[in-house]
């Protein structure tokens, strides 16, 4: 059994919830890739693998996985919720293209130290944080410049 499965099973047990076949299928699909995804992406991937799981079950399981801290959710200024699994991964931040929607991961120790320093100065005890910078990726910026010329 993978470590994430044990963490999930233990979390479910503390909430008196069951580790169902559907939940197992969903968590394995999520942890089989490191891509960012939305619920529709996940549903499509499951159906492609002949797994029929209702949207309601997918959404409920995603919410449980967030509470268990195995995945995180990113809101990108639209109604679309983007997820990624974080268990066993080093913290990172994101650049988000407003045109194509790509997420570019990065980490910078200077930013992390600065955030720690701000928290220390203000006597704040952080649980987690998220940094997203919105703009245009290189490809979309080039397309924008090309369309401006026409």
Domain boundaries, the chain: 1-89, 91-150
C-alpha to C-alpha distance for 148 and 140, rounded to whole angstroms: 12
pLDDT at 129: 82
CB 34 within 8 A of CB 4: no
Specify the range with the lowest mean pLDDT, choosing from 12-26, 65-79, 130-144. Answer: 65-79
Report the topology of domain 1-89.
Arc Repressor Mutant, subunit A (1.10.10)
pLDDT at 76: 72
pLDDT at 77: 66
Indicate whether this model's pTM tops 0.85.
no
C-alpha to C-alpha distance for 89 and 39, rounded to whole angstroms: 21
CB 101 within 8 A of CB 76: yes
CATH of the structural domain 91-150, one choice from 3.90.226.10, 3.30.470.20, 3.30.1490.190, 3.30.1390.20: 3.30.1490.190
> What is the tens place of the pLDDT at every residue in 70-80?
999 987 766 77
User: What average pLDDT does the segment 102-128 reach?
Assistant: 92
Average per-residue pLDDT for the chain: 89
125 backbone dihedrals φ, ψ, rounded to 5°: -115, 95
Topology alike, domains 1-89 and 91-150 = no
Higher pLDDT, 130 or 31: 31
Q: Which residue, chain included where needed, has tokens 């449980």?
A: 64
3-state secondary structure 96-134: EECCCCCEEEECCHHHHHHHHHHHHHCCCCCCCCCCEEE
SS3 content of the chain, % helix, strand, coil (to 5): 45, 15, 35
């Amino acid at each position: 059994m993978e470590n994430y499965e044990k963490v999930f099973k233990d979390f479910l047990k503390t909430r008196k919830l069951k580790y169902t076949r559907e939940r197992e299928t969903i968590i394995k699909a999520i942890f089989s890739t490191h891509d960012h995804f939305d619920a529709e992406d996940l549903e499509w991937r499951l159906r492609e693998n002949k797994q029929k799981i209702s949207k309601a079950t997918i959404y409920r399981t995603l919410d449980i996985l967030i509470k268990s801290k195995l995945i995180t959710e990113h809101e990108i200024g639209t109604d679309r919720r983007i997820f990624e699994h974080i268990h066993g991964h080093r913290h990172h931040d994101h650049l988000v293209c407003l045109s194509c929607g790509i997420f570019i991961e990065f980490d910078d120790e200077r930013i992390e130290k600065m955030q720690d320093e701000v928290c220390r100065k203000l006597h704040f005890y952080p649980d987690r944080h998220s940094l997203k910078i919105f703009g245009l990726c290189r490809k979309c910026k080039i397309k924008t410049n090309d369309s401006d010329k026409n």
